[in-house]
Structure 1
Amino acid sequence: MPLLRALWFFIQLSIIVVAAVWLLSQRGTVDIVWNEYSVSGNLGIFLLAAVLIAIVAVGLLRIIGAVVNAPEKFSRRRIEKNRRKGFQALTRGFVAIAAGDAKKASGFAREVRKLLPDETGLPLLLEAQAARLRGDEGDARQSFEKLLHDKDAAFFGVRGLLKSSIDAGDPVGALSFARVALDKNPKQPWVLKTVYELEIENKHWHAAMQLLDRARKQGAIEKDRARKDEIALLHVLAGEHRLARDENGEINRLERALKLDPHFVPTVLRLGEIYLEKNKKSKAAALVEKAWKVNPHPDLAALWEKLSPDASADPLRRVRWFEKLAVLRPDSADAQIAVAKAAMDCGLSGEAKAYLTTAEYIRPTARLYRLRADVEEVSTHNAAMVRGWLDKAASAAPDSVWYCTLSGNIYDRWSPVALPHGSFNTIEWGIPVGGAKIVSRSLDNGADLDPLMIETY
């Protein structure tokens, strides 16, 4: 590189020398007359002098321009230097936020505000995040509100205010900001999910139902979870129709839920009870049989009992009615227990013991052993045998129950909303892990919903 620069310099110098020699070698005379003054000279010298004068003039003009523009250039360079330092402080501030260092983050936020006084977006976001990190939610909220006026960074403000409202336990305010976020980003999965969950929390069931399909299509909610939530929402809406004494509306909602899952016990129970009230026993029995084949459940056995034919003349008819369940699912302990209970009601202790023995082989549970103790007490009155079965019940595997996966509370029936905490669609059939609390009140598919809990939107 140095060699090339030297070569280029000599080339330029050679060009200048050749040009000067060429100018001096030009023949001719130049006469300049001004009033009584007259000047004569060689043409070459005149041309060379003119070129030199032009070069000097251009140089003087550049010097004057540089002097005149010096303050502006200095100011511009200072601004550019401040911007570089400001964005460097901005980066370091966000690093401090990520590290959880509130003191450094706040210091960098002040430095950025000093170096970049006219910037709004990212500096305001840094101020808000630093304020939140040090626990000053008021300042954070003010910064997020200022961000709303920056069209390029407004979404940061919306998201910050949304989180602030959620943290403050303000679902109504959170929902309003979430809807703004959804308007700005209608296909963003986390926004869809947040709005959906807030619609649920605010008990805007119709709005949640409308949004659920969008959330599912955008992958914001897993398909299986969305299907279960849709069923639960249909039960809530069916409960609204029931409170309004709109039986057709309730049936329509429940039948839609049944199409989504024909084996979901609460849907089968409620529809079966409606059909029973309308004296459509065969239709209700068909529902139970279809569900029982896939999902044998004690609650279905209770409905099956309501559907049983009159057995006053022939008690064995009742046993045969329950034996249908055992035929449908011979591998189900609940089916064997259902038949055993029917046999007990008919005074057939031997048959009851036989079915309970089969159930014990399939799945021994506390409920089964308690029933065995009841049979023993009725048939033999043998206190020792009864105590033996009760001891087994105490140490046996627990029975499945309806329980809230969020709180562990146990319910006597399923409902779409778990009281008293109000979580949505968290009651499942199974064995709760850890301690559990029995909740006496439960929702019957919306029938016992407090009217204040049902709001339309």
Structure 2
Amino acid sequence: MISSLWYLAKVFILIGAAVYLAVLPGSVQIDWQEYTITVQLGVVALMLFITLLVVSFLTGLIHEVFMLPKEWNRSRFERRRTKGHQAIVRALSAASAGDYKNAYYLAHRAQKFLPESESGLSLLLQAHAAKGRGHELDSETAFKALLKNADTAILGVQGLIQKAMLEGDYARALVLAKESASAQPKNVHLLKPVYDLEIRNRLWDEALLSLDKIAKHKIMTPEEIKSDRAGIYIVLGDRAREENRFNEASKLYKKAFGADAGSTPAAMRLARVDLDMGQRVAALAVIKKNWALTANPQLLGLWRELCPQDKKDQRTTEYRWMEWVAEFHPESHEALLAVAETAIDHNMWGEAKAALARAEKIRPSRDLYLLWVRLEELTGKNPEVIRQWLDRSSKAGSGAHWICAKTYRVFDQWTAIVEPEGFFNTLEWRETPNMVDPAAAEWLIKSA
């Protein structure tokens, strides 16, 4: 309605302008040879106005004629693009239903309709559909086509790498990743697959260089970078130690601890090497620093070894030594258990009971109740009390262990590589699910 009124308004404005120009007073005289032409000024103005309108109309018409091929191409492009998007949607539906043959056909159709800049998803669908059909060659061709576009290159690399890894050819996967990273130096995210495969191929020195580049471009978090760098230095240090290159192992462990002072595996290895080399003070400093950061109970064994010797009263010295480490973390359940165990070892029953009571207030645990069992066996020797403690131990949690973040398997000691999967640096120190203690269960069954 409004557009119609506006159109009528424009018509009336043009008519009004034409009438106004036609009635303008005055005349225009034109002399040409022996002819004299006198025309009213309004008529001249009206003719000029009409000429302007005709010229404007003709130029617009000519512009439309010349733009017709371009408009036709644009319309054709939009129609093809719409068909391409529809084909992708149908290909996704077919793939989700397991119809890989139809999914491949529709993805191929989508690629024909879509421009090259938007063909990434269709190529990816083709690759996975071909893989689902068992056509490995077509799958590899589609993945390689993804490498030509910077936006989809990472998808192509991941697909080719996954294919090579499934075939067990990690060396080829690394070559593919490096070639892709070299071909697209500005795509810094391709550094991560290169780094992962260098780790997988146990190329530790090259992995350290790649990790420096990753840190520069902030592809991984600072915590992940610190942890991985420490893990790599630990692996190198372990290898040097196995080959009896103790000085080199010590340097590598120092680099690992320097990269991540919160790494308990690095601290334990460095302290052990220092202790074996007679550097007790250095070992003690490492353990104290890591214990202050982590309170990891696996450090307590080394701390006990570092206890100074006192010929006059070794019993009190060892007890005070363990009490001292517990003072760093008064709420450490494991530290109090270590104090109680030391007290039991030296027949300090009152101190042992006090430490166990404090530990029990923090939280119950299997180790706590087994120490109560041991204490009762050495003092009261009451079978009923022992049975009660064992019953509690069978129901209590087993405490923290090294657990793989990917497989959730439990390990007693930290290892850089989880076999047979080959995962690197995936062990975390955390609480394990409650499991029945076999020793306690066996005692309960026999005494029933």
TM-score normalized by structure 2?
Answer: 0.70
Cα offset for 1:121?
Answer: 8.9
The residue type equivalent to 2:399 in the other structure is: D
The residue type equivalent to 2:125 in the other structure is: Q
For 1:216-227, list aligned pairs within 5 A. Answer: 216-227=215-226
Cα offset for 1:174?
Answer: 2.3
In structure 1, the residue matched to 2:88 is: 94
The residue type equivalent to 2:194 in the other structure is: V
Residue correspondences, number: 371
Range 128-137 or range 272-281, more displaced: 128-137
SS at the partner of 2:244? coil
In structure 2, the residue matched to 1:324 is: 324
Range 104-113 or range 370-379, more displaced: 104-113
Is 1:255 aligned to 2:254, yes or no?
Answer: yes
Whole-Å separation in 1 of the counterparts to 2:168 and 2:417:
19
Structure number with greater CO (CA < 8 Å, separation at least 6) is 1
In structure 2, the residue matched to 1:14 is: none
Whole-Å separation in 2 of the counterparts to 1:216 and 1:185:
19
Whole-Å separation in 2 of the counterparts to 1:388 and 1:146:
66
- Residue 216 to residue 98, structure 1, CA distance change in 2 (3 Å): farther
Say if 2:91 and 2:104, in contact at 8 Å, map to a contact too.
no
Whole-Å separation in 1 of the counterparts to 2:113 and 2:181:
34
Is 1:162 aligned to 2:177, yes or no?
Answer: no
Cα offset for 1:214?
Answer: 1.8
- Residue 217 to residue 96, structure 1, CA distance change in 2 (3 Å): farther
In structure 2, the residue matched to 1:133 is: 129
Whole-Å separation in 1 of the counterparts to 2:434 and 2:393:
19
In structure 2, the residue matched to 1:182 is: 181
Cα offset for 1:378?
Answer: 1.0
Whole-Å separation in 2 of the counterparts to 1:166 and 1:184:
21
- Residue 275 to residue 163, structure 1, CA distance change in 2 (3 Å): closer
- Residue 88 to residue 246, structure 1, CA distance change in 2 (3 Å): same
In structure 2, the residue matched to 1:404 is: 404
For 1:183-202, list aligned pairs within 5 A. Answer: 183-202=182-201
Q: CA-to-partner distance for each residue in 1:336-369, whole Å, 9 max, x for gaps? A: 2222211111122222112111221223211111
- Residue 301 to residue 122, structure 1, CA distance change in 2 (3 Å): closer
In structure 2, the residue matched to 1:203 is: 202
The alignment-based identity, stated in percent, is 28
The residue type equivalent to 2:302 in the other structure is: L
Gaps of 5+ in 2: 1-6, 15-31, 35-71, 439-448
Say if 1:403 and 1:411, in contact at 8 Å, map to a contact too.
yes
Say if 1:166 and 1:174, in contact at 8 Å, map to a contact too.
yes
Say if 1:262 and 1:291, in contact at 8 Å, map to a contact too.
yes
Q: CA-to-partner distance for each residue in 1:182-216, whole Å, 9 max, x for gaps? A: 11333435422222222222222222211112223
In structure 2, the residue matched to 1:295 is: 294
Say if 2:257 and 2:267, in contact at 8 Å, map to a contact too.
yes
Range 245-254 or range 157-166, more displaced: 157-166
The residue type equivalent to 1:217 in the other structure is: K
The residue type equivalent to 1:282 in the other structure is: V
SS at the partner of 2:261? coil
Cα offset for 1:124?
Answer: 10
SS at the partner of 1:334? helix
Match of 2:141 among 137, 140, 143: 143
Say if 1:131 and 1:140, in contact at 8 Å, map to a contact too.
yes
Gaps of 5+ in 1: 8-24, 28-77, 439-457
SS at the partner of 2:278? coil
For 1:431-446, list aligned pairs within 5 A. Answer: 431-433=431-433
SS at the partner of 2:403? strand
Cα offset for 1:161?
Answer: 2.6
Say if 1:418 and 1:426, in contact at 8 Å, map to a contact too.
yes
- Residue 372 to residue 121, structure 1, CA distance change in 2 (3 Å): same
- Residue 144 to residue 311, structure 1, CA distance change in 2 (3 Å): same
SS at the partner of 1:330? coil
Range 107-116 or range 389-398, more displaced: 107-116
TM-score normalized by structure 1?
Answer: 0.68
Whole-Å separation in 2 of the counterparts to 1:164 and 1:387:
57
- Residue 200 to residue 169, structure 1, CA distance change in 2 (3 Å): same
Say if 2:88 and 2:107, in contact at 8 Å, map to a contact too.
no
SS at the partner of 2:232? helix
Whole-Å separation in 1 of the counterparts to 2:215 and 2:122:
34
SS at the partner of 1:428? strand
Say if 2:143 and 2:160, in contact at 8 Å, map to a contact too.
yes
The residue type equivalent to 1:200 in the other structure is: I
Whole-Å separation in 2 of the counterparts to 1:142 and 1:297:
48
Whole-Å separation in 2 of the counterparts to 1:80 and 1:357:
82
The residue type equivalent to 2:129 in the other structure is: L
The residue type equivalent to 1:267 in the other structure is: A
Q: CA-to-partner distance for each residue in 1:104-135, whole Å, 9 max, x for gaps? A: 5444456579899xx99977984673353251
In structure 1, the residue matched to 2:415 is: 415
Cα offset for 1:258?
Answer: 1.7
In structure 2, the residue matched to 1:229 is: 228
C-alpha root-mean-square deviation of aligned residues, in Å? 3.9
